[in-house]
Chains A and B, each alone.
Chain A
Amino acid sequence: MNGNSIEIRWHGRGGQGAKTAALLLADVCFKTGAYVQGFPEYGPERMGAPITAFNRISDKEIRVHSNIYNPDLVVVVDESLLGAVDVTSGLKENGAVIVNTDKDAASIAGKLNGYTGKVYTVDARKISVAALGKYFPNSPMLAAAVAVSGVMDKDQFINEMRSSYEHKFAKKPEVIEGNMKALTDTFAALEAYL
């Protein structure tokens, strides 16, 4: 893509919220005035099956309606996909991949089919369980995607997400702070590597 544009590909398993994360990213980037596109891989929903979702974020109108084959960023929501799916296929060498794992980047790098670009890891389970008491990987992975891609300023992201969560969880306000903590903890965990 041209100009200030970024293409992101999400890999997850049905039911983990990768599609929701892509739609949330589109939503939050829209609020910065960007042109956005967020869409799942088109197909029947099958719990646990590998799924793909996509984002295009641009300062220009987006017209392309195809899937993304040469992403700038790949987000892997489920580590177990690494053996099953070629997650770094077409990923730009000057791009990056983020993997949800408790391992460090160096030990993941070898499982990425020879990808030599930047590799980031996020322990979404640890962050989510600490913040929310349960394992919901999509909030940490969304924060990681924003942190690594730099599509928007951290503070703006945090503010916008707070208002989204306040809207989304109007009837469950008790989960708002936990989700916010998951976002800020992810930023904190990645800070040293960015």
Chain B
Amino acid sequence: MRTDVNKINEQSTHDELTEGLMIFAGATSKDFKTGEWRTNTPIFYPEKCKQCLLCAPVCPDSCIPVVNSKRDRFDYFHCKGCGICAVNCPFGAIEMVEGQVPMKKEVTNG
């Protein structure tokens, strides 16, 4: 039987867990909204961006989608705010700010 990770949580009883805690499903990390762990948030300034794409590959959580050879808005559902993208941006197009407030703004804008 395939695993529905949304039905497993830290309150699940032993008989609700899978054998050996194996997960019989793929790409389940999408279902874990780790963005809520974020204490700092990257802000993207499209006007400064030259689309050099140095930021996308260094993101450990694949939160910078590349669409048609251009970087898109941050995936704030999964971005943990590590700041690696901001350090790597040669053009100051990514700025780290404290807190996770911009999430809603970026998401609604994006």
A and B touch in the complex (CB under 8 A): no
Question: Residues on B close to A: CB < 8 A?
Answer: none
